[in-house]
Structure 1
Amino acid sequence: MSIAYAGVRPLVLLSCIVIAATATASAGPDDALHLYAGLGYGHDDNLLRVPDNFPGFDNTRADSWWSREGGLIFDKTYSLQRISLVAKLSKYDFDHFKQLNYDGKDIQASWYWQVGNHLNGKIGATYNQTLAPYTDFASDQRNLRRSRSRYAEGTWRFHAAWQARAGFQRDVYAYELAGERYNNRSENTTELELDYIARSASTVGLVARRVKGAYPFPRPIGNVLLNDDFTQDELKARVKWNVTGSSSIDALIGYLWRDQPSYGPGRTRGGAGRVNLSYQPGGKTSYTASVSRDFAPLESTLVSYTLNNGAAVGAQWDATAKIHVNADFSAERRNYNARQALNVPGGANLRDSIRNASVRATWTPRPLLHLTAGVAHQSRSGSIVIGTGSFRSNSITLSASAQF
């Protein structure tokens, strides 16, 4: 991996890390309120995900950035009620593509409620402002993505071996650039679930879910304006199985029906779901793995969703009580449904794949102080028909964060 550093700035960050490591935090790990501060540096040799054999914007592919963030974290339990609040503000400055500089926001508020021994749930809201990924968006302009979420759910344990759950969530996404506003959308998700609870604490249940998506701006395709609104119904089985004391399986598998008239015949159906496995044999190493098949939104001017098949593996090594190393790898094949207006010939290559690999080491010299270094690789094999070219990207990040 070839990574270039920008001047002496990494040395400045390392100096700040050394100073932070010798500082004494005034708050203890169990305190309810903490102030948060963080400093980060990153470098990516293909920041804007320019396809292979294409010139970079400004004949430049690589860029470095600095990030600073601060905020507060509050988490306290009052009898049976728990309140959790997170509010963080951040600032990102890029060395070359200065037009990408932005202020990030991350706000989360949750109330974990409980009434007696049989009723509990969660109510909350989130707001996030960050730079949208350039994986499927060819531009060197800043494109902030603002997402808002509100949710409420409740579980009723009406029998020692049975419980029922109901939930609702509304997600809203908005993009800064006028050319990307066609990806603005809202999604309302309603869920009903019935679970059987075994004596081992393993559960098996049935989940019925409906997702209604609405796009406020019709998407122009030639002289045609397409409405990407959709309705997706799902019926899935949820299994949480404690196989042994060191291994478990968490699965949500079933069937879905998606109605989105702007694509082909407008109706899609098929199996979908995710299976997560975890294995903690004891000692210093633990492992995770997952496989999935599901629909996912795509931040692209050409296609707004894909049917994805993915797999991922991960491992954590606790080198010492204060040093942890994480390694992760994931691969995902994305299958596109062509719009009627594209008139794509049958048999065309309407798929691509994305691979991600990363290694991250975290040192915690004090309970509320974290120093992290990581390297990552991302690659995509593109689809000529859809217009997604193949690319490779390598990055490195350094960060220091502390709570007070």
Structure 2
Amino acid sequence: MIFKHSPRVSASRRRRLLPLLLVPGIAFTTAARAEEGDVLRPYVGVSVTHDDNILGTSNAAIAAGTPKLSDTARRIEAGLLFDKTISQQRLTANINLDHTSFNRFSNLNYNGRDIAANWNWHVGNQLEGNLGATHSRTLTSVQDSVTRNAAVDNGLPNQLPNVRTQNRQYFDGAWLLHPSWRLRGGLSHYELSYEQQGPQIADRRVDDGEIGFDYLARSGSSIGVQYRRADGDFPNSPLANYKQDEVKARIDWKVSGKTDLLFLAGWVQRDHDQAPASDYSGFNGRVNGTWRVTGKTTLTAGLWREIGALDDQTASYSLNRGISLGAGWEITRQIRLDGIYQHERRDYTPSGLFRKDTINYGALQLSYYPIPKLKVLTSVYRTSQGSDVASNDYRNLGVSIGTRYEF
């Protein structure tokens, strides 16, 4: 894939429980993957996740006597992977269906799905790109689906789960004009909606397009410039409608055979149709680095300052500044250990909300392959959020164990 852009949907104001075969937010996937040459591969999985503060109850509320409620979620899943190469064309697809059930908040049980298809197309040796679509249905967060007082009084919520559905269609392509020059571009359409009763102000539709021009060095590095335009429509909250323009430099630097750096930085202008007080204009940038220390050890790091879309009922975006550190260690051919730490400051002031949050998140994940097709994962994660709004100041700790078998 050359590139794909979609509206960034980050965590809601409290860390959600994700009873998956991965630590929430960790920078590696556990989805079953068909190796190149595989045509069809089904898989099944099961996992259990326990969170000690499922509602994200604030530290102040706990100090005042409000109980910190925990819960355990069980998830079962089944999926099918398709991967077929025909000449230069590669077709891939993934269908994943799952069911999640909770011990305490049992009426939040729901069925989820994740479907994706992609055509990696090629025309000769100069033109290539992607055409595809994705669809997902997942629970947003337990705390967004319950009435706090009902949960405290009865131990059970009195509302339906707030399930989020996301759909995206995209097309992108690159034209190798010359061995040293490349023209690229793409279009996408994104829709986000919530199924809980009543209008959801966070529902949105975003159409975006991008065009870029790169110089390709013989070393594999590249340097270029790109322009992106996004139009966001919030049908239930028209004040949040916006148009966003970005002009950024993009540098993909192969420092050595073991070290890569990717820079993407420039100017972003976000204008709101009916709420000019929420407009934003300023520098946005991100740098990601990867260092393959040995054949079995990899270190990653990221640094960013950028505005991002939020899955939040109070603001349409925030200005985020953060840093992340990650490490992966293949202890043996059957055992792997991964870890991540992330620190981020979110400033909601540009969107008109006087609030600032600081999130610290860490996770460890241990993967074990007793046999080639069976994977067992154990993970632990911790989130600590500070805020100048007392009700958003909280901590939680979670642990997960799961297994997946590929046929």
Q: TM-score range by the shorter chain?
A: 0.7 to 0.9
1:360 maps to 2:365? yes
Match of 1:212 in 2: 231
Write out aligned runs for 1:339-354 (5 A): 350-354=355-359
Write out aligned runs for 1:59-138 (5 A): 59=67, 61-133=69-141
Of structures 1 and 2, the one scoring higher in RCO (CA 8 A, sep 6+) is 2
Match of 1:284 in 2: 296
Give the number of the structure whose alpha-carbon radius of gyration is greater.
Answer: 1
Match of 2:384 in 1: 379
**Structure 1 residue 301, shift from structure 2 partner:** 2.5
Match of 1:346 in 2: none
**Structure 1 residue 133, shift from structure 2 partner:** 3.1
User: Does the Cα contact within 8 Å between 1:382 and 1:390 map onto a contact in 2?
Assistant: yes
**Structure 1 residue 367, shift from structure 2 partner:** 2.8
**Structure 1 residue 395, shift from structure 2 partner:** 0.3
Deviation string for 1:203-249 (max 9, x for gaps)?
0110100111000113xxxxxxx521011100001111100111010
**Structure 1 residue 310, shift from structure 2 partner:** 1.2
Write out aligned runs for 1:323-334 (5 A): 323-334=335-346
Instruction: Select the residue among 140, 149, 152 that pairs with 2:171.
Output: 152
**Structure 1 residue 366, shift from structure 2 partner:** 2.7
Structure 2 unaligned spans of 5+: 1-33, 148-156
**Structure 1 residue 350, shift from structure 2 partner:** 2.6
Amino acid at match of 1:304: S
Instruction: Select the residue among 390, 394, 397 that pairs with 1:394.
Output: 397
How far apart, in 2, do the equivalents of 1:75 and 1:379 lie?
Answer: 40
Instruction: Select the residue among 317, 330, 349 that pairs with 1:318.
Output: 330
User: Does the Cα contact within 8 Å between 1:243 and 1:249 map onto a contact in 2?
Assistant: yes
User: Does the Cα contact within 8 Å between 2:41 and 2:406 map onto a contact in 1?
Assistant: yes
User: Does the Cα contact within 8 Å between 1:262 and 1:339 map onto a contact in 2?
Assistant: no
TM-score by length of 1: 0.85
Match of 1:304 in 2: 316
Rate the CA distance shift 1:288–1:390 in 2: closer, same or farther, 3 A. Answer: same
1:32 maps to 2:62? no
How far apart, in 2, do the equivalents of 1:240 and 1:339 lie?
Answer: 32
How far apart, in 1, do the equivalents of 2:214 and 2:65 lie?
Answer: 53
Deviation string for 1:86-113 (max 9, x for gaps)?
0010000100011211101000000000
User: Does the Cα contact within 8 Å between 1:136 and 1:388 map onto a contact in 2?
Assistant: no
Aligned residue for 2:107, secondary structure, equals: helix
**Structure 1 residue 85, shift from structure 2 partner:** 0.6
Match of 2:202 in 1: 183
Deviation string for 1:332-382 (max 9, x for gaps)?
100113666x7xxxxxx6311111100000012233221100000011102
Rate the CA distance shift 1:180–1:67 in 2: closer, same or farther, 3 A. Answer: farther
Rate the CA distance shift 1:363–1:329 in 2: closer, same or farther, 3 A. Answer: same
Match of 1:196 in 2: 215
User: Does the Cα contact within 8 Å between 2:188 and 2:209 map onto a contact in 1?
Assistant: yes
1:232 maps to 2:244? yes
Aligned residue for 2:311, secondary structure, equals: coil
User: Does the Cα contact within 8 Å between 1:161 and 1:198 map onto a contact in 2?
Assistant: yes
User: Does the Cα contact within 8 Å between 1:136 and 1:298 map onto a contact in 2?
Assistant: no
How far apart, in 1, do the equivalents of 2:146 and 2:276 lie?
Answer: 25
Aligned residue for 1:374, secondary structure, equals: strand
User: Does the Cα contact within 8 Å between 2:52 and 2:397 map onto a contact in 1?
Assistant: yes
Instruction: Select the residue among 393, 398, 406 that pairs with 1:403.
Output: 406
Deviation string for 1:120-178 (max 9, x for gaps)?
00000000000113578874542111000100001000101001001011110001224
Paired residues in the alignment total 363
Rate the CA distance shift 1:79–1:391 in 2: closer, same or farther, 3 A. Answer: same
How far apart, in 2, do the equivalents of 1:137 and 1:200 lie?
Answer: 51
Aligned residue for 1:315, secondary structure, equals: strand
User: Does the Cα contact within 8 Å between 1:188 and 1:212 map onto a contact in 2?
Assistant: yes
Amino acid at match of 2:290: S
How far apart, in 2, do the equivalents of 1:57 and 1:117 lie?
Answer: 67
User: Does the Cα contact within 8 Å between 1:261 and 1:267 map onto a contact in 2?
Assistant: no
User: Does the Cα contact within 8 Å between 1:156 and 1:163 map onto a contact in 2?
Assistant: yes
**Structure 1 residue 179, shift from structure 2 partner:** 5.2
TM-score by length of 2: 0.84
How far apart, in 2, do the equivalents of 1:92 and 1:312 lie?
Answer: 30
Aligned residue for 2:61, secondary structure, equals: coil
Aligned residue for 2:164, secondary structure, equals: strand
Match of 1:166 in 2: 185
**Structure 1 residue 278, shift from structure 2 partner:** 0.4
Aligned residue for 2:201, secondary structure, equals: helix
**Structure 1 residue 293, shift from structure 2 partner:** 1.4
Deviation string for 1:275-295 (max 9, x for gaps)?
100001214321000011111
Larger deviation: 327-336 or 54-63? 54-63
Aligned residue for 2:117, secondary structure, equals: strand
User: Does the Cα contact within 8 Å between 1:291 and 1:310 map onto a contact in 2?
Assistant: yes
How far apart, in 2, do the equivalents of 1:101 and 1:58 lie?
Answer: 25
Match of 1:42 in 2: 49
Aligned residue for 2:220, secondary structure, equals: coil
Rate the CA distance shift 1:231–1:57 in 2: closer, same or farther, 3 A. Answer: farther
Rate the CA distance shift 1:114–1:275 in 2: closer, same or farther, 3 A. Answer: same
Structure 1 unaligned spans of 5+: 1-26, 219-225, 343-348
Amino acid at match of 2:132: G
Rate the CA distance shift 1:28–1:265 in 2: closer, same or farther, 3 A. Answer: closer
CA RMSD of aligned residues (A): 2.4
